[in-house]
Amino acid sequence: MQFSLIIPGVGLGEAKEECGIAAVHLRRELKHYPSGGAAYYLCKMLLQQQNRGQLSAGITTYNAQRQQIIDTYADLGTVYEAFRISHPAKHKSIMERYSGTKGIGHVRYATSGCNDRSYAQPFERHHGRKWKWFAFAFNGNLANYSELKQKLIADDYHLVRDTDTEVMMHFMSKALVGDKRPDIANVFSSLSGQFDGAYNVAFIDAEGNLIIARDPIGFKPLCYGNDENVMLAASESAALTNLDVNKIEFPEPGEMLIAGNGDIEKKRFAQCKRKAHCMFEWVYFANVSSIIDSRSVYEVRWNLGKELAKIETEKPGAEHVIVPVPDTSKPVADALSYELGIPAKEGLIRNRYVGRTFIESSDRLEKVKDKFTLNRPVISGKKVILVEDSIVRGTTIKTLVQYIKKSGNAKEVHVRVACPPIKYPCFYGIDMSTLSELIAPRHMKASITEQYSGVSEKISEGIAKEIGADSLIYQTYGGLARAIGFENGAKSLCTACLNADYPTEWGHKLLEKAQQNFEKRKEKRTYEC
């Protein structure tokens, strides 16, 4: 039997989010706050966004009384591991060393680069002039990364990492060149004309200017909250409500918040020609207790279950039981249960005590067993309606169906998916940038580059057969839009992975490249080629 060191979820066929960001601005002296000041708040907010990345965590804080006016701490692992929370003395030491009145934070999952400490964000760029000495972190992915990288190389830059974060750092540095301090809004405006993709940014410099910026299309979620003592900002509202900030606002795409030495100022740095909020945030990525652009993630997932109930083909009977794949599918399954009158039970129990890395068999079934335990009394002899949030690569759901049938002795397994088929790559921060890794394109009759948002029976039947399910029903495209609930439906959403409607120029360019790579059997991430 072969064994290897792995990160849970990697290799199980799950889609991964790029990262989460956080920022804090304290309005009073440090003595009025818990030990660490900004570091304390950042650590708390990153803990509440651990779902967005587990490879590394880091913070940069500002303290005018330190010789290192801004200073960065980052390490591999979860927030709990990186900040040594299980070792009180070590954790206290980190909090004291990085105590500050302002700061930014980051949790990372890699869609580019590697699992190395040097890739952990925030990235800090030292300089003798305080307004050129900065640190930043971002959530997203630059679709035109390869083009920007080549421009830097042509200008005789040497890049030491294979990541768009380093490219962004150099372009920020170039925007700050000269002897005259530029207006920070103009800096970000200039950058927005060069960057194509998703990039929510948390930025801080050695003059104490704290910037939170949302990209001009609004791919990724961003929110902030104010009270008399503190301003907090984060990728998800759960990070703020956990710190008792309940009045939460959402910057518009192309807007930035500036926290200098005075009040918080909101400025527009780029025009929003089209909104394209990532639909996967509501379906899968975000914390279920978060609110994104005034829409509850929990309520959206409940609505997705109601929409699935409208197209259910099974006739409810005593043998049926609804089983969610933990944890994101539970609200969907609960709503489906409520609408159909079929009990929803925990037939799969997720192991919540597996650390960031552990030794496990290279066999896929063994990986699934490490992650999920069967609750046999719930599923034995039953017609199981297995509810999953999405199917990307198909490897996990195929193994789960096999597991439930053979080890759980289920009579039948009918798979229901809260999201329409994922047919096209994502180039904006989800780790699925190639066609070869997706299960749906193998079952599509039309050209891979043809925009198509429907859910054909051929696709469902083909995938059902491949994963061993007795039946498979996907969410409809209209059902997804209604569940999320924007007034103009899917027009405010990025649904490129469903219908190839990429909201930026480089999205379309990379789809063509992905098709070429697919035909040539190239496996490298598309935006890195």
415: CATH = 3.40.50.2020
φ and ψ at residue 473, rounded to 5 degrees = -125, 125
215 and 122 within one domain: yes
In a domain, 290, yes or no: no
In a domain, 1, yes or no: no
CATH of the domain at 266: 3.60.20.10
Q: How far apart are the first and last CA of the chain?
A: 35
For residue 34, CA distances in Å to 42, 225, 247, 444 come to 12, 19, 22, 56
* Pairing of the two strands 197-205 and 291-292: unpaired
**pLDDT < 70 stretches in the chain:** 1-18, 110-115, 354-362, 445-456, 487-490, 523-529
305 and 247 within one domain: no
In a domain, 180, yes or no: yes
Those residues whose C-beta lies under 8 Å from the C-beta of residue 291, and which sit 6 or more positions away, are 223, 237, 248, 297
Q: Which has the closest alpha carbon to 311: 131, 478, 102?
A: 478
Is residue 114 packed enough to be buried (19+ CB in 10 Å), middle (13-18) or exposed (0-12)?
Answer: exposed
Q: Determine which helix (DSSP H) or strand (DSSP E) holds 371, and give its type and residue range.
A: helix 364-371
266 and 348 within one domain: no
224 and 194 within one domain: yes
In a domain, 501, yes or no: yes
Q: Which has the closest alpha carbon to 348: 334, 363, 330?
A: 330
193 and 230 within one domain: yes
In a domain, 279, yes or no: no
C-beta of residue 373 within 8 angstroms of C-beta of residue 24:
no
φ and ψ at residue 494, rounded to 5 degrees = -90, 115
Domain final residue, candidates 273, 307, 323? 273
Question: Can you read off the two tokens belonging to residue 236?
Answer: 């998800």
Question: Can you read off the two tokens belonging to residue 159?
Answer: 């890049």
Those residues whose C-beta lies under 8 Å from the C-beta of residue 410, and which sit 6 or more positions away, are 379, 380, 381, 382, 383, 384, 404
Strands (E), 310-436: 320-324, 348-350, 358-361, 372-374, 383-388, 412-417
C-beta of residue 282 within 8 angstroms of C-beta of residue 484:
yes
What is the chain's Cα-based Rg? 23
Which pLDDT does position 453 carry in this prediction?
Answer: 52
SS3 61: strand
250: left (phi over 0), alpha (psi -120 to 50) or beta: beta
SS3 473: strand
In a domain, 289, yes or no: no
Q: What is the spatial distance between Cα 443 and Cα 375, in angstroms, rounded to a whole number?
A: 33
299 and 242 within one domain: no
Neighbours of 48 (CB within 10 A): 25
Catalytic residue annotation: 19
Is residue 397 packed enough to be buried (19+ CB in 10 Å), middle (13-18) or exposed (0-12)?
Answer: buried
247 DSSP β-pair partners:
none
In a domain, 281, yes or no: no
339 and 265 within one domain: no
Task: Locate all alpha helices (DSSP H) within 395-500, ordered by sequence.
Answer: 395-406, 457-467, 477-484, 496-499
The boundaries of the domain holding residue 381 are 295-528
C-beta of residue 122 within 8 angstroms of C-beta of residue 107:
no
CB neighbour burial string for 499-527, b if at least 16 within 10 angstroms, e if fewer: bbbbbbebbbbbbebbbebbeeeeeebbb
Q: Which has the closest alpha carbon to 108: 207, 235, 210, 11?
A: 235
Task: Locate all alpha helices (DSSP H) within 410-503, ordered by sequence.
Answer: 457-467, 477-484, 496-499
Those residues whose C-beta lies under 8 Å from the C-beta of residue 404, and which sit 6 or more positions away, are 323, 347, 348, 374, 379, 384, 386, 410, 413
Domain final residue, candidates 210, 240, 273? 273
131 and 260 within one domain: yes
254 and 301 within one domain: no
Q: Determine which helix (DSSP H) or strand (DSSP E) holds 26, and give its type and residue range.
A: strand 19-26
191 and 123 within one domain: yes
Task: Locate all alpha helices (DSSP H) within 238-289, ordered by sequence.
Answer: 238-241, 279-280
167 and 77 within one domain: yes
Q: What is the spatial distance between Cα 434 and Cα 421, in angstroms, rounded to a whole number?
A: 15
In a domain, 285, yes or no: no
333 and 186 within one domain: no
Q: Which has the closest alpha carbon to 24: 244, 278, 211?
A: 211
Number of structural domains the chain divides into: 2
For residue 38, CA distances in Å to 64, 148, 158, 478 come to 13, 33, 34, 43
Q: Which has the closest alpha carbon to 214: 239, 188, 247?
A: 188
Neighbours of 236 (CB within 10 A): 28
Q: Which has the closest alpha carbon to 9: 522, 496, 392?
A: 392
